[in-house]
Amino acid sequence: MERIKGADLSKLTTLKVGGRADLLVIPNKVEDVRESVLLSREKDVPLFILGGGSNTVFGDVKGIVLWLRRLRGMKVVSSAEGFLVEVMAGTPLSDLVILSVRENLEGIWRLTGFPATVGGAVSMNAGAFGAEMKDFLTSVTFMDWEGNVHRVRAEEIEFSYRRSPFPGIGIVLSCELFLKRSELPVREEITKIRTLRKRTQPVNLPTSGSTFKNPYPRHAGDLLERVGMKGYRSGDIAFSNIHANFLVNLGEGRFEDVVRIIEEAKRRVLEEFGIVLEEEVRIVEDSGSDGWKVL
């Protein structure tokens, strides 16, 4: 396990914005995760769980950031119907996408093009092009905030649009998925999605993905565009010219700019449409504590 005091968090998120953490812990095994959970309890300091940092923006963090990137690996059992996959939380989601393309498996290839970990994708119930993480899960193994490990069947877990009970009830350690064999030529289908993403998303700049959830039946990007936020800039942080709901870092973007620009966007959309936009991106700063365990 590695421990870094005063770690620079900007390197750990895809928007490349961030302050410092009192302590960054990088566990190598599940026991290390338990040690951090118990330490945060004993010292009564907040603990933030970080995966790929692709939907997270940090300010300064007065507490522990637990970065799960090293808890990776998967076990695969194949049958005539498909693949049963046990995968650890820190594994890149793209490993599952690659498997699905190689073996022509259903659905999960739709989640291509974002640098998530599997744990982050479960926690956010990540989704794209009609598929969501929950569609493939058979069970999740997690550690609760007292350090106990549980394995629960997927149907017992309440998932909804970009929402799950994690990390509220604990830290996803691994999960099991069933990926059916597909009738579609997956390799061709995924190429279409990748081309579309390149055309409609700012793939060449540091970004944190969707800033706001879509307030059904409206699209956040559309509302933002209508209130003049597309391309709107505060310092080096801007809403992308390509996709109004994606924040991009044009150079030396700062946390304060992210907060300012989000507030401005929410204010305009509320004034114009009476709609309260809800953040999809996790804004994490020392004052944003939700209980003792999760920032």
Ligand X SMILES: Cc1cc2nc3c(=O)[nH]c(=O)nc-3n(C[C@H](O)[C@H](O)[C@H](O)COP(=O)(O)OP(=O)(O)OC[C@H]3O[C@@H](n4cnc5c(N)ncnc54)[C@H](O)[C@@H]3O)c2cc1C
Residue from 7, 37, 61, 68 in contact with ligand X (CB under 6 A): 68
Closest CA to 97 of 84, 87, 110: 110
Structure tokens at 9: 């968090």
* DSSP code of residue 241: S
Report the site for ligand X in 74-93 (rule: CB under 6 A).
Answer: 89
**Whole-number minimum distance, CB 219 to ligand X, in Å?**
13
* Residue tagged active-site, from 210, 254, 268, 282: 210
Residue whose C-beta lies closest to ligand X: 120
Name which of residues 161 to 180 contact ligand X (CB under 6 A): 166-167, 171-172
Of 140, 126, 115, 294, the C-alpha closest to 203 is 115
CA-CA distance, 172 to 254, in Å (whole number)? Answer: 30
- For the question of residue 162 being annotated catalytic, the response is yes
Q: Does 27 bind ligand X (CB under 6 A)?
A: no
Which string of DSSP letters, residue by residue, matches 8-38?
Answer: EGGGGSTT----EEEEEEE-SSHHHHHHHHH
- Identify whether 280 is a catalytic site residue: yes
Taking CB under 6 A as the rule, does residue 127 contact ligand X? Answer: yes
Residue closer to ligand X (CB basis): 26 or 89: 89
Stretch that binds ligand X, among 78-86, 112-120, 221-229, 232-240 (CB under 6 A): 112-120
Between CA 51 and CA 148, with CA 70 as vertex, the angle to 5 degrees is 75
Query: Residue 239, interface with ligand X (CB under 6 A)?
Result: no
Q: CA torsion sign, 201 to 246 to 212 to 145?
A: positive
Question: Is 210 an annotated catalytic residue?
Answer: yes
- Read off the amino acid at residue 252: E
Residue 26 makes contact with ligand X by CB under 6 A: no
Q: Which of 20, 34, 69, 162 is catalytic?
A: 162
Per CB under 6 A, does 221 bind ligand X? no
Task: Kindly state whether residue 18 participates in binding ligand X, applying the rule CB under 6 A.
Answer: no
